[in-house]
Amino acid sequence: MPQDHTERRVVVTGPPRQTRRASGYYRPRTEIDEQTTLGHTYVRSLMRTQLRAALTVFAVLGLLVGPLPLLFAAMPDARRLEWAVLGFGLYVPLVLLARWYVRRAERNERDFVRLVEDR
């Protein structure tokens, strides 16, 4: 796959943005575009927020799932509990965690866009 092809696709499939383009460039946005030190600081701050959101949800997942094998090993007679939890109980919390994360990640991105577009 020629590389230039990839680049061209990225531009073509981007979301429409003509409306805001016309309003001119604001300072933070230009910093990011020109890859100055200040621009990198903006990107870093976004990465840090997103990573924090991801690690939070990952920690919740670990706390939710991590103790379960220990619990089942400690209670060898609670087979029905093991069936219920592993067979049917964990999927809904997983989906809820995912939705929570997506909402947080999208909010982080919206806040960031608002910051750099100075709106």
Partner 1 sequence: MNSSYAVPAVALVVVATVLVGAFGLRISRTTSDFYVASRTVGPRLNAAAISGEYLSAASFLGIAGLVLVQGPDMLWYPVGYTAGYLVLLLFVAAPLRRSGAYTLPDFAEARLASQAVRRLAGAFVVGVGWLYLLPQLQGAGLTLTVLTGAPDWLGGVIVAVVVTAIVAAGGMRSITFVQAFQYWLKLTALLVPALFLILAWQSDGAPRHAFDEPAAFREQRVVRVDDSIDLTLDRPLPVTVTGTVDGRTHTDTRLELPAGTHHIERGTRLTFAEGATVPHAERSGGGNLSTSQAESREERPLYATYGLILATFLGTMGLPHVVVRFYTSPHGVAARRTTVAVLGLIGAFYLLPPVYGALGRLYAPELTLTGDPDAAVLLLPDRMIGGVGGDLLGALVAGGAFAAFLSTASGLTMAVAGVLTQDVLPSRGVRHFRLGTVLAMAVPLAASVLVGGLPVADAVGLAFAVSASSFCPLLVLGIWWRRLTPPGAAAGMLVGGGSALLAVAATMAGYPGQGAALHALLAWPALWSVPLGFLTMVLVSLATPGRVPPGTAGVLARFHLPEELRTEVTT
The least distance separating partner 1 from the CB of residue 100, rounded to whole angstroms, comes to 10
Question: What does each C-alpha distance from 10 to 5, 6, 59 come to in angstroms?
Answer: 9, 6, 34
Binding site for partner 1 (CB under 8 A): 1-2, 5-7, 9-11, 13-15, 17, 20, 29, 32-33, 35, 39-40, 43, 46-47, 50-51, 54, 57-58, 61, 65, 69-70, 72-73, 76, 79-80, 82-83, 86-88, 90-92, 94-95, 97-99, 101-102, 105-106, 109, 112-113, 116-117
